[in-house]
A and B are shown apart, each in its own frame.
Chain A
Amino acid sequence: MSQPMSDPEAANPASDPIILRCEGMRKVYPGTLALDDVTFEVHRGKVNVLVGENGAGKSTLMKILAGVESPSAGRITLNGEEIRYDSPRDALAHGIGIVYQEMNLFPNLSVAENLFANREKLKHPGWIDHAFEEAKAAELMHRLNQDIDPRTLVRELKVGQQQIVEIAKSLVEDASILIMDEPTAALSKSEVEVLFNIIAELKAKGVSIIYISHRMDELMRIGDFITVLRDGRLIDHSPMAAIDLHWIVKTMIGEDTDKLFRRVQHVIGETVLEVKNLRLPSETGRLTLDDVSFQLRKGEVLGLFGLMGAGRTEVLETIMGLHREATGEVLLEGQNLAGSDIQRRIKRGIALVPEDRQREGIIQTMSVASNMTLAGLWRIVTRHLHIGSQAEQDQVHQMIRKMSIKTPSPNSPITSLSGGNQQKVIIGKNLITLPKVLLLDEPTRGIDVGAKGEVFEIVNALAAEGIGILFVSSELMEIRAISDRIIVLSRGVISGEFPREEATEDHLVAASAKIHP
């Protein structure tokens, strides 16, 4: 085992500007190399931004730092000393806390109980000292400038407040390094401001922050240092002052920029899908979709842009027939689809690649082949009954070739494939149904850059075959590159429509932020 690096500043740990250093981090999952020899340095008392596209390895790195996962190789030094730990508790004992993107709170417990979950302060063995816990919780809420009663159930808090409880959890044990994984994903604008104030205060108190986000404006604003990961490798590391937005984007996406944004001219035909006055009520009584109308033409790629919660997914789901409570008309080649359930709509030529691949796309217990033919079995069966092995294999082999899916065999479990290849299986599954309209909901989410490029090529090829494609994405560059025309949704209303030439970033962002009375 080699000694820590002979860094001149390492002699006096407190003066070392690097509080935490990961070297040669490597993480292997079945079928994927999530991290490949990554070095990551955390500057003391600074906001260290970590960026990378989905699947770049950010989350894996953070899970290792937080003790949730163990690295396959590599070492971590804290204040110049090598440390080892293999549980979140150990990590916290070393002063490393994490605030997860998906909140890990108990909604049925109070704020104080959440803060002390699994480290309850005991009065006597078996007796929790509620008074102490509540006092401490109140103190923390005060420190974070929050007017939250420690006895409130977490369920009753707003999302932004829950996020703050998450942060407070790490502060209970005086974390010196705080990891925040997309902390603003679910926050409103004013809640984001509160969070940023808290981050500034924490920084002033010497807490080092690791900040992961996709929102460029945010990380430009609060970041001190930036580290870019791509495909599980460290690409670059720089002080924020030395770089600009363009640099980040270029570094994140890499040399493939040109390929990724290669514009292909689509041959556009007649209208294939028409959506008229779509309205979808939500549970709160507000309309999730309010009078959405648009047309999609053969061979056209229509981009659908909007922020989280704008109703993009709901548009696709309604076209697919998932929301029976929706009103309005969906016409496929002039024929009204009212009364057709999902199966009939698939047979008539509508196909959906859902946003959440794990929850809505793949069947985890099935093989690649069975997943791929699932939606199109009716095309393979003879006499409505029998699945011929040969017919099925032919379809699957053809699709694996067409989509260049990397799988050991068609009978391998789908879970053994990388995210990008799983996505291609899902797209292939939808192509077997011979769609006239293909609905793609964030088809490039969570897949690596190479696979992204391939998905783009597939989309272009399908458009060339005359399929009408509705492409949802929250990534501006992506949607601008692929679409012939872009419509923007804001809170369930179409707030803008732009032909490719006019779809500048400014236009799209402005339209997506439009607020309706």
Chain B
Amino acid sequence: MGSNRPDSDGQKTIGAVLMKMMTVIALVILIVAFTAMLASKGINFLNPLNLATVAKHVAITAIMGMGMTFVIITGGIDLSVGSIVGLCGMVAGGLIRLGLPLDVFGITIYFHVWAIVLICLVLGVLIGAANGFLVTRLNVAPFIATLGVMYIARGIANILSGGATFPDLQGKPELGNTGFPVLGSGQFLHLPLSVWLMVVLLVIMTYVALKTPLGRHIYAIGGNPKASRLSGIRVEKITTYVYMFSGFCAALVGLIVSSQLVASHPATGESYEMNAIAAAVLGGTSLSGGIGTIGGTIIGSFVIGVLSDGLVMMGVSEFWQNVFKGLVIILAVVLDQANQKMNRRRAIAEDKGAKQVAQA
């Protein structure tokens, strides 16, 4: 070969860059389009109050999507997150409303809100650990394992209240368990707390992904599990961590949602897992494993959030919203495939060019 330094980052065509930025561009187009269309109806899409609402919705998808992203990068999938949202919400609601009755002693324990939050997060992590155990130790395919856990968790959420809602989760001062709604309604620097939680997780997880052995190992496992094992990576352990983390994220969302509603309903979080998967995929995470970024998932979450809120404000029916969401997801993946094909062609073309130069 003639030149031995074709800086692969340096000579990307504008087309390739545009392709890479595809999701960001789609997001900008969506925002501009909705702003324009809603302006004609006299609604300002970009007013701060509205943006805060959109951001709240985005945060829910994004927090679950980030947990999902790591799972998908290891080559797995986690269908149980939606049910974990429901179950953890119900557990939080039950502990606030009913406490923990210990019939043996004839007493009922009411926990402080902080303890309740902790219990729910631990519960999410444990459910994730169960997923991880099924996948890594009992060799159940991730799709099946988490599907089973999804049904189980949803079932238990319903059993806890007999299918009823726990309303009015303000807590009682005499029981010392007030303050739960703050998580959903609280603000810091004019932004909802859930958005800050999203930002904190984004920072931590991006650091983990890029700069720690754990992150490297997660990517490696998805790229080639056998080679990872031979490189000394504890594949079972790290895969389990990843499901545990996904369970943690889902539990957090469960708390946020029931806090926002100041009520918990057993059906909360149904089909949230699909939004989380969609956000990851829109953000460029490959379902075959090994590829994906946390930042991409955040952008994917924004696309989903802006799209559905925009459509709601346009007055589009929920049924049509689903149609649009489906189309956007498919379009994103089709474009991504086209992008990869283009990259391969370019590599071959460059190679041919180099050969011709070498021969001349």
A interface with B by C-beta (< 8 Å): 28-31, 33, 72, 320, 322, 341-343, 345-347, 352, 354, 359-366, 370, 373-375, 377-378, 381, 385-387, 406, 408-409, 411-412, 416, 429, 433
Contact = CB atoms under 8 A, between A and B. Distances in A.
B149 to A, nearest CB: 28
A376 to B, nearest CB: 9
Interface string B218-252: 01101110111111111000000000000000000
B351 A28 contact: yes
Given A408-B4, A411-B9, A429-B231, A72 B219 contact: no
Interface residues of B, number: 34
Nearest to A377: B213
Interface in B315-359: 344, 347-348, 351-352, 355
B231 A365 contact: no
B291 A365 contact: yes
Nearest to B290: A365
B174 interface: no
Nearest to B348: A30
B224 A343 contact: no
Nearest to B358: A33
B8 A409 contact: yes
Interface centre among A72, A362, A363, A366, by most chain B C-beta atoms within 10 angstroms, is A363
Contacts of A361: 227, 230
A28 B355 contact: yes
B6 interface: yes
Contacts of B344: 30
Contacts of A416: 347
B212 interface: yes
Contacts of A352: 230
Contacts of A429: 231
A354 B230 contact: yes
B307 to A, nearest CB: 29
Interface string B83-122: 0000000000000000000000000000000000000000
Given A28-B352, A31-B351, A366 B223 contact: yes
B190 interface: no
A484 B234 CA distance: 35
Contacts of B5: 408-409
B290 A387 contact: no
B215 to A, nearest CB: 8
18 contacts: A29-B348, A30-B347, A343-B232, A345-B232, A359-B224, A359-B227, A361-B230, A363-B223, A363-B228, A365-B289, A373-B216, A374-B216, A374-B228, A375-B232, A387-B212, A408-B7, A409-B8, A412-B8
Given A366-B219, A433-B232, 12 more contacts: A72-B352, A320-B230, A345-B232, A360-B230, A365-B219, A365-B222, A365-B223, A365-B286, A370-B219, A373-B216, A375-B232, A387-B211
Interface string B132-153: 0000000000000000000000
A360 B227 contact: yes
A163 B230 CA distance: 32
B218 to A, nearest CB: 12
A385 B232 CA distance: 17
A69 to B, nearest CB: 13
Contacts of A72: 352
B224 A363 contact: yes
A95 to B, nearest CB: 30
A354 B231 CA distance: 10
Given A342-B229, A408-B6, A409-B7, A366 B290 contact: yes
B162 to A, nearest CB: 47
A30 B228 CA distance: 25
Nearest to B229: A342
